[in-house]
Amino acid sequence: MALTMLLELKREPSANGCTHGSLFLDGEFQCFTLEDVVREVPQLAVADWKIPGETAIPSGTYNLTITPSTRFHTLLPLLVDVPGFAGVRIHCGNFASDTEGCILVGTRCTPTAVLGSRIAFNALFPKIQAALVRNDPVQIRITIDDGRPRPPLLTMSS
C-alpha cells in the first residue's frame, strides 16, 4: 500500500510585499518558504482577486509531480490543478520578484527574502523524487500558520 508524503506549508500573514511560511515534511520542519502576497478572498473566483505575477496561489491541498520545466530547463516539482494558476512549481529563488505564484524555499529568511535557497531545494527535491519513484503519492497542504513552533526568522544585519 502506498504511503502519501505530505508537505505542509504554513503561511504567515503577508508583509513587505511577500508571504513567508514554514514547510513541514510529514510533520517535521523542512525549510522556510517565500511566496507572493496572499490576496485570496474565500467564495470569490480566483479571477476576481488574482493579480497576475503578484499573487500567491489559493490555500488548499494539491498533488505534486515532477516534470521538466521549460523556464528553468530542469526537473522541478509541479503542483497539479491549482485553480486559476498554471505551472506552479517549488523552486529556488530569493525574493517575491523571483516567483509568479510559485513557492520558493530557503534555509533562512529576512523580512523580504529567503536565503540558502539551493541548499533547501537540494535537501527537499530528492525526498519528493524518491517518494514518487516508489509510487507514493505526494501532496502539499497550504494553510495559514497554526502557531506550530519553528525556527525564528533570521534577520540579516547590515
Residue 85 lies in a domain: yes
pLDDT digits (tens, 9 = 90+) for 2-38: 789 999 999 999 999 999 999 999 999 999 999 999 9
Rg (the chain; Cα; Å):
15
Q: Which is higher by pLDDT, 34 or 1?
A: 34
Residue 16 lies in a domain: yes
Which grid coordinates belong to 51? 493579480
The SS3 call for residue 45 is coil
Residue 128 lies in a domain: yes
Helix (H) or strand (E) holding 79: strand 74-79
What average pLDDT does the segment 50-55 reach? 94
Q: Is the pTM of this model over 0.95?
A: no
pLDDT of residue 155: 43
- In the chain, helix, strand, coil percent, each to 5? 15, 40, 45
Sign of the torsion angle spanned by Cα atoms 93, 95, 101, 105: positive
For 90, the domain range is 5-144
pLDDT of residue 152: 52
Q: Number of structural domains, the chain?
A: 1
Residue 150 lies in a domain: no
What average pLDDT does the segment 55-78 reach? 96
The SS3 call for residue 52 is coil
Residue 78 lies in a domain: yes
The percentage of the chain sitting over the pLDDT mark of 70, rounded to a whole number, equals: 91
Above 80 in pLDDT, residue 154? Answer: no
Residue 154 lies in a domain: no
pLDDT digits (tens, 9 = 90+) for 128-145: 999 999 999 999 999 986
Residue 156 lies in a domain: no
Residue 149 lies in a domain: no
CA distance 129 to 18: 28
